[in-house]
């Protein structure tokens, strides 16, 4: 949408109100004033970030592959990392496992992935705000949630895989920490990997499924249910436990409409994923017992729905029917069919209610 806006501007075409509203939604903005200038800033930030990533990666790829091929690798992987695409040119289904002992490469890629996963609204808010205390609530929630999920995932992977010789067991302490951190970061929809996903313990795959579901920030390149969606639900649960009617954080109140929207998106998204994962497992029931495993199937199904890209080998070993199911999962996750459904429901039900039925309690839990 942002690129379309730039093309309209260059060709002299008038940008309609509907287009401006779509751009504002994509950038996570509630105001239409200055939205065209904001979209240009988002495009500029993207270009600068990817150029910076290209320069940093060239210090490794150029000496390894030669100038032209190394430069091409740098450009491609910089864009892939910032856009959380996960595509690589290494080949052999290895991704970046050959760089699992290279702190420089892992740190550069983690930085690019995190920056792209924050969302354009957060990046522009950081750029335009000198005092971090004056950041928008959305930015504070995304930044706090991102930091928490990265540290949580890193500590869990480090703890579970510490002695696993097939993943990080034979590495030194620094390499273990960096690879655990990379695994935590990449599962937030980047799709690269420095350790073999098949060799992970099932407990690590379970943590990975959780991290993939949370995903990154809205209005960006990340997938998943989104950090703000999940953390809004957690904050609402905290408020209920404390006996508070309103959901509050950082001195602000989250509107009840957004809490209900987060609840609906999470519920529908979870049901969609569970249903598709069940169909995926059913479609492969004729496979030899244990050849794929339910955990691996759920891991790959979640990876598809959250547009992550990591795999335990299920995709390569499955039938055409299962691959179609995975395509539907990816499409639903990227386009946001659940979010679209919620938006359509909201647009058709925002009618003033004149008839109210009497209240009656039901047993919950």
In a domain, 67, yes or no: no
Mean pLDDT of the chain: 83
Give the structural domain span for 163: 83-349
What phi and psi values does residue 254 have, to the nearest 5 degrees? -85, 125
Per-residue pLDDT tens over the stretch 76-101: 999 999 988 888 888 777 888 899 99
In a domain, 17, yes or no: no
In a domain, 26, yes or no: no
* Interval 116-136 mean pLDDT: 83
In a domain, 163, yes or no: yes
Per-residue pLDDT tens over the stretch 60-71: 999 999 999 999
pTM confidence score:
0.86
In a domain, 48, yes or no: no
Interhelix angle 67-82/103-118, nearest 10 degrees = 40
In a domain, 278, yes or no: yes
Look at residue 249 and give its three-state secondary structure: strand
Handedness of CA 236, 242, 246, 247 (dihedral sign): negative
pLDDT at 50: 92
- pLDDT band for position 338 (50/70/90)? low
pLDDT surpassing 70 at residue 22: no
In a domain, 161, yes or no: yes
Q: Which residue has the higher pLDDT, 17 or 57?
A: 57
Tally of structural domains, the chain:
1
In a domain, 310, yes or no: yes
DSSP letters spanning 194-219: SS-STTS-HHHHHHHHHHHHH---SS
- pLDDT band for position 28 (50/70/90)? low
Q: Which residue has the higher pLDDT, 249 or 350?
A: 249
pLDDT at 289: 45
Q: How far is CA 42 from CA 49, 113, 121, 250, 324, in A?
A: 11, 16, 8, 26, 34
* Interval 226-234 mean pLDDT: 92
pLDDT surpassing 70 at residue 292: no
């Amino acid at each position: 949408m942002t690129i379309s806006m730039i093309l309209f501007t260059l060709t002299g075409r008038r940008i309609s109100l509907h287009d401006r509203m779509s751009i504002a939604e994509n950038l996570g903005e509630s105001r239409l004033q200055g939205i065209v200038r904001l979209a240009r800033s988002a495009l500029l930030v993207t270009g600068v970030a990817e150029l910076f990533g290209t320069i940093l990666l060239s210090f490794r790829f150029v000496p390894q592959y030669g100038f032209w091929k190394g430069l091409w690798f740098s450009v491609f992987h910089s864009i892939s990392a910032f856009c959380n695409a996960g595509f690589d040119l290494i080949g052999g289904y290895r991704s970046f496992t050959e760089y699992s002992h290279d702190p420089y490469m892992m740190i550069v890629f983690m930085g690019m992935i995190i920056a792209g996963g924050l969302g354009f609204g957060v990046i522009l808010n950081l750029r335009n705000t000198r005092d971090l205390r004056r950041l928008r609530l959305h930015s504070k929630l995304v930044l706090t949630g991102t930091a928490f999920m990265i540290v949580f995932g890193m500590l869990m992977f480090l703890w579970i895989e510490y002695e696993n010789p097939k993943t990080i067991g034979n590495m030194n302490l620094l390499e273990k920490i960096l690879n655990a951190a990379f695994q935590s970061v990449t599962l937030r929809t980047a799709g690269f990997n420095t350790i073999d996903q098949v060799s992970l313990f099932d407990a690590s795959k379970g943590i990975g499924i959780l991290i993939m579901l949370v995903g990154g920030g809205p209005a960006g390149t990340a997938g998943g249910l989104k950090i703000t969606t999940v953390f809004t639900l957690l904050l609402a649960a905290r408020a209920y436990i404390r006996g508070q009617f309103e959901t509050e954080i950082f001195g602000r109140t989250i509107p009840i409409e957004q809490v209900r929207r987060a609840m609906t998106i999470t519920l529908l998204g979870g049901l969609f994923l569970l249903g598709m994962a069940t169909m995926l497992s059913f479609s492969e029931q004729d496979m030899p017992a244990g050849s794929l495993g339910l955990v691996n199937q759920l891991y790959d199904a979640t990876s598809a729905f959250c547009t992550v890209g990591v795999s335990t080998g299920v995709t390569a070993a499955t039938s055409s029917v299962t691959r179609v199911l995975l395509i539907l999962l990816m499409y639903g996750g990227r386009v946001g069919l659940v979010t679209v459904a919620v938006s359509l429901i909201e647009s058709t039900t925002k009618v003033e209610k004149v008839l109210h039925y009497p209240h009656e309690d039901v047993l919950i839990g």
